[in-house]
Amino acid sequence: MTVTVAIVGRPNVGKSTLFNRLVGRKIALVDDTPGVTRDRREAEGRIADLRFKVLDTAGYEDKTDGSLEDRMRQQTEIAIRDADVILFMIDARAGVMPLDERFAQVLRRAGKDVHLIANKAEGKAADPGLLEAYNLGFGEPVALSAEHGLGLSDLHAIVSKAVDAAAAKAEARAPSLDVMPEVDVDLPEDDGSTEDGPVKRWDPKRYLNVAIIGRPNAGKSTLINRMVGEDRLLTGPEAGITRDSILVPWEYEGRIINLVDTAGMRRKARIEQKLEKLAVSDSLRSIQYAEVVVLLLDAQIPFEKQDLTLADLVEREGRALVIAVNKWDTIEDKNAKLAELREQCERYLPQLKGIPLVTISGLQGRNIDKLMQAVFAIERKWNSHVSTARLNRWLSGMTESHPPPAVSGRRLKLRYMTQAKIRPPSFILFASRPEAVPNAYQRYLVNGLRDAFDMPGTPIRLWLRGGK
């Protein structure tokens, strides 16, 4: 499965530098050779084990005719038409320029898989540009230095996710065209399509990957079946049941939800491994596919060791988590059970304080709406950005009511805080001696953030830096 990657952006942000790095050799630059036009617009790129096609949209800038506007349009049209993944590059040192914003407008309408790449991010000079980049509305920017080869592992993650998604989509489509809705069916009429005709597209903002994980027999397959409303996922005790897809598209309240089916992965893998280990590695893959993870517990046997391992994995991977207690139909005294579950949750998962617990029955289809509301709510929190002004007001309140301890006789100064990224919310705290801030105090701040900005169930990262 070859995916095509396009690098798009205004002149001088570093597109050719990245192109050359991915392609691994210097493509002859021809602008100093009159009469020779650059015809190579596509080459094989690689990052470690990954192979893919790269489109060199920078080539179109060599044309001396046409306005910048024209060239920009050409570039983006080509990328939108031919690429599976668009890397939208800006120069983090220069910050966001008006022309970047114009690109952003066009790309937002394209509805493709667009990733914002903040290049020239080596060193501190790029920090303000990275923060500014959020305003372009593509979420967390990927910090890159094309020249120094930094940040390539993030590009690797982006491309390999696209490769997996393309493979899963192709697989899923082949055997079951009749039940698989095409994802582009309900697009708005005015989608900014080019004169080349309508381009297949969907709005990525309405596109959400949700993994359903849990121990074997927690009821994952039954729940997914119930959600998509068909018996396309075969459930049952028989071994060796095959299934075509691990991404099950489902339309819910006008959004495309890709349910990532962990049980399906295992059946596909067909490897002999110890069951528990296998379940965990399937789950890890599912988690990495997803933005929001639903951890399914069996109401009869909740909070087993493996459940806690899975919750921990979600937290470590920085995904948003919802806990669903399944088989609620089997519980007699529901009030007592719920109180007990809440108490267990606080005790076993203190790192996820206040996480929503939704009680459901996949078998009877009960409370699936409530579950989805919890999924959407946590997704919003996971994407939330707190302004620097609010953060610092909050920080001074926190340090007033509970000052940081003096360490070896010297007062510890917490100077300033800013949110560096979302998904998950990650904060930088500038301190006089970052290494001296005790863990307990860091926990106090993280829990405080979670309360103050209402982010239960969302992992929160806190990074300490010196200076400023």
Min. distance of Cβ 13 from ligand GDP in angstroms? 4
Choosing from 111, 139, 219, 356, the residue that interacts with ligand GDP (CB under 6 A) is 219
Q: What's the full length of the chain, in residues?
A: 468
- The region of 76-84, 129-137, 214-222, 429-437 touching ligand GDP under the rule CB under 6 A is 214-222
Non-local (6+) Cβ contacts of 149 within 8 A are 21
Classify the phi-psi angles of 266: left when phi > 0, otherwise alpha if psi is within -120 to 50, otherwise beta: alpha
What letter would DSSP give residue 61?
Answer: G
* CB contact at 8 A, 61 and 11: yes
Q: Read off the amino acid at residue 370.
A: K
Q: Read off the amino acid at residue 189.
A: E
- How far is the CA of 406 from the CAs of 392, 410, 465, in angstroms? 21, 5, 18
Non-local (6+) Cβ contacts of 391 within 8 A are 417, 418, 419, 427
Choosing from 3, 8, 55, 146, the residue that interacts with ligand GDP (CB under 6 A) is 146
Helix (H, G, I), strand (E, B) or coil at 281: helix
Which residue, 325, 288, 319, is CA-closest to 214?
325
Size, binding site for ligand GDP by CB under 6 A: 33
452 binds ligand GDP (CB under 6 A): no
Which residue, 145, 83, 69, 74, is CA-closest to 114?
83
222 binds ligand GDP (CB under 6 A): yes
- The region of 22-30, 79-87, 170-178, 321-329 touching ligand GDP under the rule CB under 6 A is 321-329
Non-local (6+) Cβ contacts of 343 within 8 A are none
Which residue has 């299934």 as its token pair?
Answer: 243
Choosing from 193, 283, 288, 326, the residue that interacts with ligand GDP (CB under 6 A) is 326
The Cα 466–Cα 438 span in angstroms is 15
The Cα 400–Cα 120 span in angstroms is 39
Choosing from 145, 209, 283, 419, the residue that interacts with ligand GDP (CB under 6 A) is 145
User: Which of residues 19 and 453 has its CB atom nearest to ligand GDP in the complex?
Assistant: 19
217 binds ligand GDP (CB under 6 A): yes
Which residue, 379, 421, 417, 426, is CA-closest to 134?
421
- The region of 141-149, 333-341, 390-398, 419-427 touching ligand GDP under the rule CB under 6 A is 141-149
What letter would DSSP give residue 145?
Answer: B
266 binds ligand GDP (CB under 6 A): no
User: Which of residues 275 and 406 has its CB atom nearest to ligand GDP in the complex?
Assistant: 275
- The region of 69-77, 276-284, 324-332, 377-385 touching ligand GDP under the rule CB under 6 A is 324-332
Q: How far apart are the first and last CA of the chain?
A: 47
- The region of 78-86, 183-191, 359-367, 418-426 touching ligand GDP under the rule CB under 6 A is 359-367
327 binds ligand GDP (CB under 6 A): yes
Site residues for ligand GDP, 52-71, by CB under 6 A, read 58
16 binds ligand GDP (CB under 6 A): yes
By DSSP bridging, strand 414-421 and strand 426-431 are antiparallel
Q: Answer yes or no: is 326 a known binding residue.
A: yes
Q: Answer yes or no: is 377 a known binding residue.
A: no
245 binds ligand GDP (CB under 6 A): no
Q: Answer yes or no: is 135 a known binding residue.
A: no
Which residue, 160, 164, 361, 379, is CA-closest to 257?
379
Q: Answer yes or no: is 261 a known binding residue.
A: yes
414 binds ligand GDP (CB under 6 A): no
283 binds ligand GDP (CB under 6 A): no
x/- map, 92-131, ligand GDP, by CB under 6 A: ---------------------------xx-x---------
Q: Please, what's the largest Cα pairwise distance for the chain?
A: 84
Q: Answer yes or no: is 221 a known binding residue.
A: yes
323 binds ligand GDP (CB under 6 A): no
Min. distance of Cβ 95 from ligand GDP in angstroms? 14
Q: Answer yes or no: is 59 a known binding residue.
A: yes
Count CA atoms within 13 Å of residue 293 on its CB side. Answer: 32
Which residues does residue 212 pair with via DSSP β-bridges, in sequence order?
A: 261, 294
Non-local (6+) Cβ contacts of 193 within 8 A are 199, 201
362 binds ligand GDP (CB under 6 A): yes
Which residue, 96, 12, 11, 83, is CA-closest to 42?
83
User: Which of residues 4 and 16 has its CB atom nearest to ligand GDP in the complex?
Assistant: 16
Choosing from 5, 6, 8, 13, the residue that interacts with ligand GDP (CB under 6 A) is 13
286 binds ligand GDP (CB under 6 A): no
218 binds ligand GDP (CB under 6 A): yes
Structure tokens at 248: 């099950």
- The region of 11-19, 37-45, 168-176, 423-431 touching ligand GDP under the rule CB under 6 A is 11-19
Which residues make up each annotated binding site for GTP? 9-16, 56-60, 119-122, 214-221, 261-265, 326-329
Chain residues binding ligand GDP by CB under 6 A are 9, 11-17, 58, 119-120, 122, 145-148, 214, 216-222, 235, 263, 326-327, 329-330, 361-363
Binding site members: 9-16, 56-60, 119-122, 214-221, 261-265, 326-329
